[in-house]
Structure 1
Amino acid sequence: MPFDGFVLAAVRHELEDNIIGSRIDRVYQPTHDSIALNLRQAKDRMRLLLCAHPSFARIHLFKQPKENPVSPPSFCMVLRKHLEGGRIKKIIQPGLERIISLEIEAQNEIGQAVTKHLICEIMGKHSNIILVEVQSRKITDAIKKYSHVLSRHREVLPGRIYIPPPTQEKLDTLHMTEKDLFKSLLKRPLDDLLVKCLQSCLEGFSTTLANEIIYRTGLPAELALNECGEYELNKIWAALQEIIIPARQNSFQPTLVLNRQGKPIEFSAFDLTCFGNQLRKKGSMNDHVEQFYNHQEEDLRREKERSFLLKTVLKLSGNLSKKLEFQRKYLGQEEKIEQLRISGELIMANIHQISRGSVEVSLDNFYDIAGSKADIDLTPELGPVENAQAYFKKYAKAKRASKTAARIEEQTLKELNYLAGIETNLNMATSDQEISEIKDELNRQGYLKDTSGPRRVKTAQKTPQPLAFKLSEGFTALVGKTNRQNDYLITHMAKDNDIWLHVKDYPGAHVIIRTEKSLSETPAGVLLEAACLAAYFSKARQSKNVAIDYTLRKYVHKPPGAKPGFVTYTSQRTINVNPDEDAVFKLAENKK
């Protein structure tokens, strides 16, 4: 977890500079495991978030507004009763533990001054937010309440004495000696990696910070403890001093690491040189924490929506596959169906040889060149004519069923291909708009139940925004990642002489090369770049030597009534490429 004791210390130091003496104007509870405090100090307005989420537990100032429930939960009401109007007097963090207490001076029901501690415990799935009365040390309430049934160490219930979480028996990182460190390390299993030993021995250390220490020493990342001698341990101690000495003076270097897409992937209270050439953004610890977790929560929400839609699509595909298997039972049985007609014909031709009550009859098969006998089952209650008519009826019914099955098989295959395309679009979707477009499409096609009710207010749809890439020699490529983007690209954006590309025999994005030149005048390098985009944004992303069809836009047609994203095309040529993620990212950077 990146929110380690040093990060909390950096957050605490910034909070001390900003919110000490501020008044709590209002308390909100945006989610079942988070609390937001609206603070006021002179003319300044601030908002403080305390979160006990199992994966995103934290405390920091925030700027992006959060949606609050119409009816506040009970814990929120308790905090409003005890804290609103109070002032924050002190912020306490024991050592480098991931526990922080806001000491708040407020008034009770009869106007007497009372001091409360609002404690935020950042401990993964055991994270909690607890309101404690300082004088009696009794718990007023908690966002997560539990008894000894769940914890042998303590009970978190109103009226119980507050007991801090159990200590982890780690070294006091800020005040330890070199001898203390070496002694503690040598108690660890000798075959453990050094990075794991540092994280488990030192208070306030996360795996990220332990990796940074190893990186600064220049030692191998996979170095085990039993491979360390005096030289290696001395280098570890020297690297630790680069962090410990500034931390004692509250001199932090808050750092946010961004990936190639500009998305936060890590943060720390110190510079993370181990991330090499990746962008490392400096600034406020509170701002970095907010930016990182906002993206994490957005990704989690988006992934939940994507997972729901994928589950729906896969279920529909599974049902259609079973339906297809059933339909194919009627296909490939032309011989059996024709035999029903032949049986009827043979009975009619030999009526004089068949008597009512017969169970079976063996007749000369004049349809067979070899002149073999045909054994035909009869219904004894029926006469020869009625038996022949029964076979003709079975023949007609089987023939109709066969024709219907062939037609429905074609429809089912089209539907399965359509859903395969939706699955590919969902796997490639990276934004809320893309997922929203796919969900809206599934609604319109009748695959999702509309739960919005009869009074649904229709809102104007946003104009689709296909991706744009800058190709070599000044060319531009447009890429549609959803069916709606693909349709918009073909029908509204592309011109007749633009070049259209699509992966062959797989679902994927439509790619358009904007050009005023003829197809033969378009540079081969430009076609290769666009073909790489078409291969990368398709179901064949992980394949090699992927075939890409390309033709002019004027040869691409959307049949009337076709499913979204479906087109037909002619006059195509084919080029083979290998999907290259680095090449795609390079093209994306060229656009910037």
Structure 2
Amino acid sequence: MPAVATGPTIKRIPFDSLTLQAVVREAQAALLGGRVQHITEPSEFELVLTVHRRGPSAHLLLSIHAHYARAHLIRRRPQSLPVPKPFCMACRKYLEGARILDLRQVGVDRILRIDLQRGEARYALVAEFMGKHSNLILLNEAEIVLSSAKTITERESRVRPVRPGLPYSLPPPPRGVLPLDSAGLPVALTGAEDAPDLRSTLLQQVQGMSPFLADLIASNASVVGLEYAWRDTVGAVLRGELTPVKVRTEAGTAVGAYPVSVSQLLGLHEIRCATLSLALEETYAEILQQEQLESLRGHLLRAVRDAISNRQLQRGIAQQHLSEALDAQRWRRYADLLIAAENDAPVSEDVAWVRDTYAQTAERVGVPLIAGKSVKETAAAYYERARKLDRAQQHVVQRLAAIESELGDLSMFRERLESACTLSDLEALRAEILASGLVRLPASDRERDAGKTAMTRIRGVRAIETPEGYQILVGTNADGNAELLRSAAPDDLWFHVRSGTGAHVVIRTARQPDRVPHSVIHRAACLAARHSSAKHSSYVPVDYALRKYVRPVRGGTPGRVVYRMHRTEDVNPQECAELGDA
């Protein structure tokens, strides 16, 4: 089959409706009828169900990552976070030990539904793979939300709120009128290959059609016709005739995996795999590792480039000082001339006119005098200035040599960072760079280290260090609560139980609240709940917001506030006891 002359530039192959259909086929064969043994939470946006049937256990990964939302089987059960999120705890409570009754794709959308039964009760776990709107939702038999990975309040979405106690509703259906569920070319698309833009026609007419799949079908149709192109892509998946592949660019960069061949698209190379889940697992592991590598590389390169810019600025200043130091001879000459003609030097407007004994003609030259000083005093000052410049010259020359050496080392570090290929290489290089002392820590890291003990001496405030390296501050009385509000930075995170009395809790974020791990947020919420009037309850909503959105009530008692732009973390104070820090 000849290659197409033109094709789109592919940056990433999406986890689209067709891929989900293929994953469902593999998951049904491995999971239906099995019992959920373990539920693992490898990260704040991933959940893994370990299911036991006859033979080895199977592991189903559900990810709601904003860029890499997906579902597929994985070979090993990963480690779980030390502090599980409330959603994970809810899934463990209701689903561990449950039997999987059904596992299916909802319509042609990127929604996976798993129906389970535990005893007489039935539950459903719904996974919505929709970019930044991806979510995991646990339902009871009446289709009421028991818990969700992301809570969406009525304020955030009037059309479709998602929170415990509300009935579940499906997202709006994808555009198009023809569902992506026909192994043969739909009659309505007959002759569509003659349309000016087949890709746009497919996207507008077919529900569940992703831009990537439209590109693939349009490219194939230009060679074999639309009917065969549809049969070899959509039809192949619906018939269960999968040819899963890992896909790379010509440069060898992983861009995704797909259930059918994509060789018709130029600029892509494919590697056949035994299963689609294996292709997805290996591809996304490589993509995420590459993303982590590039993130660390960028972080270190910025620090090294900043250090190089700083040294170049220092070199310019040192060169300027050196040029001034080289002027010591002029001031010494002025002093000599003033001493030689101390009693024979006409003075006019702070200028002494002396004979230049250094010149053959011995003509009179003007030597500036220091305001308010005599000729002799000016000569002494000029001698002292010359001596200082001589000493400075020696120091500046040494400093310039040191700066040039540091620039050479930093340039070497930059080149090695740009050429490093693995995370282990970058980590080793990072340690070497920091050990050299040539690169400063980012301001946020310095502030986090320097500010850890800032509040520990204030009465009424208790400081707790987390394993992740963050400091959590807990007000133990009204004065401590008021002091926390006064001293917290605008971008620190503030916590308090909703509609109750209790301690104010603050996480010091070093001006980077978005980087605070969920485990730290959950720990702070637990502390707020355990130091509140609701500490004996089994369900406590804790609101948290940036300190800049928290305002003391004018004329109110100390610690009374109003706040906005908040989020809520639901915790069980009794289950939080395992965290310690009581």
> Given the alignment, which residue of 133, 148, 158 partners 1:142?
148
Partner of 2:461: none
Structure 2 gap ranges (5+): 1-12, 450-582
Alpha-carbon distance in structure 2 between the residues aligned to 1:96 and 1:306: 40
Match of 1:120, SS state, is strand
Tell me if structure 2 keeps the 8 A contact 1:133–1:139. Answer: yes
Tell me if structure 1 keeps the 8 A contact 2:51–2:57. Answer: yes
> Given the alignment, which residue of 269, 294, 307 partners 1:316?
307
How much has 1:247 moved relative to structure 2?
A: 3.1
Task: Give the direction of change, closer, same or farther, for the CA distance of 1:152–1:427 in structure 2 (3 Å limit).
Answer: farther
What aligned pairs does 1:343-362 form with structure 2 within 5 A after superposition? Answer: 343-353=334-344, 359-362=350-353
Task: Give the direction of change, closer, same or farther, for the CA distance of 1:419–1:67 in structure 2 (3 Å limit).
Answer: farther
Question: Quick one: which amino acid aligns to residue 30 of structure 1?
Answer: P
Alpha-carbon distance in structure 2 between the residues aligned to 1:373 and 1:61: 96
Partner of 1:18: 30
Match of 2:57, SS state, is strand
- Is 1:4 the counterpart of 2:11? The answer is no
How much has 1:172 moved relative to structure 2?
A: 0.8
Question: Quick one: which amino acid aligns to residue 353 of structure 1?
Answer: D
Question: Deviation string for 1:204-258 (max 9, x for gaps)?
Answer: 3333332322332335xxxxxxxxxxxxxx9223321333333332332222224
How much has 1:91 moved relative to structure 2?
A: 0.6
Task: Give the direction of change, closer, same or farther, for the CA distance of 1:435–1:268 in structure 2 (3 Å limit).
Answer: same
Question: Quick one: which amino acid aligns to residue 66 of structure 2?
Answer: P
- Is 1:342 the counterpart of 2:346? The answer is no
How much has 1:43 moved relative to structure 2?
A: 4.0
What aligned pairs does 1:229-268 form with structure 2 within 5 A after superposition? Answer: 235-258=225-248, 264-268=254-258
- Is 1:202 the counterpart of 2:206? The answer is yes
Partner of 1:86: 98
Task: Give the direction of change, closer, same or farther, for the CA distance of 1:183–1:127 in structure 2 (3 Å limit).
Answer: farther
Tell me if structure 1 keeps the 8 A contact 2:352–2:375. Answer: no
Alpha-carbon distance in structure 2 between the residues aligned to 1:355 and 1:381: 16
Question: Quick one: which amino acid aligns to residue 209 of structure 2?
Answer: F
Partner of 1:30: 42
Match of 2:255, SS state, is strand
How much has 1:98 moved relative to structure 2?
A: 0.7
Stretch deviating more after TM superposition (143-152 or 393-402): 143-152
- Is 1:434 the counterpart of 2:425? The answer is yes
Question: Quick one: which amino acid aligns to residue 180 of structure 1?
Answer: A
Task: Give the direction of change, closer, same or farther, for the CA distance of 1:374–1:426 in structure 2 (3 Å limit).
Answer: same
Task: Give the direction of change, closer, same or farther, for the CA distance of 1:81–1:185 in structure 2 (3 Å limit).
Answer: farther
> Given the alignment, which residue of 115, 123, 128 partners 1:116?
123
Partner of 1:213: 217
Partner of 2:436: 445
How much has 1:18 moved relative to structure 2?
A: 0.6
Question: Deviation string for 1:23-74 (max 9, x for gaps)?
Answer: 1112121111111122212342222111100111011111245332212121
- Is 1:416 the counterpart of 2:407? The answer is yes
Alpha-carbon distance in structure 1 between the residues aligned to 2:374 and 2:210: 90
Alpha-carbon distance in structure 1 between the residues aligned to 2:362 and 2:169: 98
Partner of 1:581: none
Question: Quick one: which amino acid aligns to residue 243 of structure 2?
Answer: Q
Stretch deviating more after TM superposition (172-181 or 410-419): 172-181
> Given the alignment, which residue of 155, 165, 170 partners 1:164?
170
Structure 1 gap ranges (5+): 108-112, 220-233, 454-592
Alpha-carbon distance in structure 2 between the residues aligned to 1:351 and 1:413: 45
Partner of 1:292: 283
How much has 1:19 moved relative to structure 2?
A: 0.6
Tell me if structure 1 keeps the 8 A contact 2:106–2:113. Answer: no
Alpha-carbon distance in structure 1 between the residues aligned to 2:347 and 2:19: 96
Alpha-carbon distance in structure 2 between the residues aligned to 1:12 and 1:24: 17
Task: Give the direction of change, closer, same or farther, for the CA distance of 1:417–1:205 in structure 2 (3 Å limit).
Answer: farther
Tell me if structure 1 keeps the 8 A contact 2:40–2:79. Answer: no
Partner of 1:561: none
Match of 1:303, SS state, is helix
Task: Give the direction of change, closer, same or farther, for the CA distance of 1:370–1:133 in structure 2 (3 Å limit).
Answer: farther
Match of 2:67, SS state, is coil
- Is 1:155 the counterpart of 2:145? The answer is no
Alpha-carbon distance in structure 1 between the residues aligned to 2:152 and 2:337: 83
Partner of 2:70: 58
> Given the alignment, which residue of 189, 196, 201 partners 1:181?
189
Task: Give the direction of change, closer, same or farther, for the CA distance of 1:369–1:87 in structure 2 (3 Å limit).
Answer: farther
Task: Give the direction of change, closer, same or farther, for the CA distance of 1:356–1:12 in structure 2 (3 Å limit).
Answer: same
Alpha-carbon distance in structure 1 between the residues aligned to 2:204 and 2:259: 19
Tell me if structure 1 keeps the 8 A contact 2:180–2:234. Answer: yes
RMSD in angstroms over aligned alpha carbons? 2.9
- Is 1:303 the counterpart of 2:294? The answer is yes
Alpha-carbon distance in structure 2 between the residues aligned to 1:71 and 1:34: 14
Stretch deviating more after TM superposition (140-149 or 247-256): 247-256
Alpha-carbon distance in structure 2 between the residues aligned to 1:369 and 1:148: 95
Partner of 1:130: 137
Question: Deviation string for 1:172-199 (max 9, x for gaps)?
Answer: 122486442369999xxx87x5334434
How much has 1:380 moved relative to structure 2?
A: 5.1
Question: Quick one: which amino acid aligns to residue 141 of structure 1?
Answer: S
Task: Give the direction of change, closer, same or farther, for the CA distance of 1:295–1:334 in structure 2 (3 Å limit).
Answer: same
How much has 1:346 moved relative to structure 2?
A: 0.8
Instruction: Give the count of matched residue pairs.
Output: 429
Identity %: 22
Partner of 2:566: none
Question: Deviation string for 1:319-369 (max 9, x for gaps)?
Answer: 112211211112334663321111111111111135999843122223345
Task: Give the direction of change, closer, same or farther, for the CA distance of 1:26–1:335 in structure 2 (3 Å limit).
Answer: closer
Partner of 1:45: 57
Alpha-carbon distance in structure 2 between the residues aligned to 1:296 and 1:45: 26
Tell me if structure 2 keeps the 8 A contact 1:185–1:198. Answer: no
Match of 1:198, SS state, is helix
Alpha-carbon distance in structure 2 between the residues aligned to 1:43 and 1:371: 109
Task: Give the direction of change, closer, same or farther, for the CA distance of 1:62–1:388 in structure 2 (3 Å limit).
Answer: same
Tell me if structure 2 keeps the 8 A contact 1:212–1:273. Answer: no
Tell me if structure 2 keeps the 8 A contact 1:178–1:237. Answer: no
Query: When the two structures are superposed, what TM-score results if normalisation uses the length of structure 2?
Result: 0.68
Tell me if structure 2 keeps the 8 A contact 1:146–1:156. Answer: yes
Match of 1:331, SS state, is helix
Tell me if structure 1 keeps the 8 A contact 2:41–2:80. Answer: yes
How much has 1:200 moved relative to structure 2?
A: 4.6
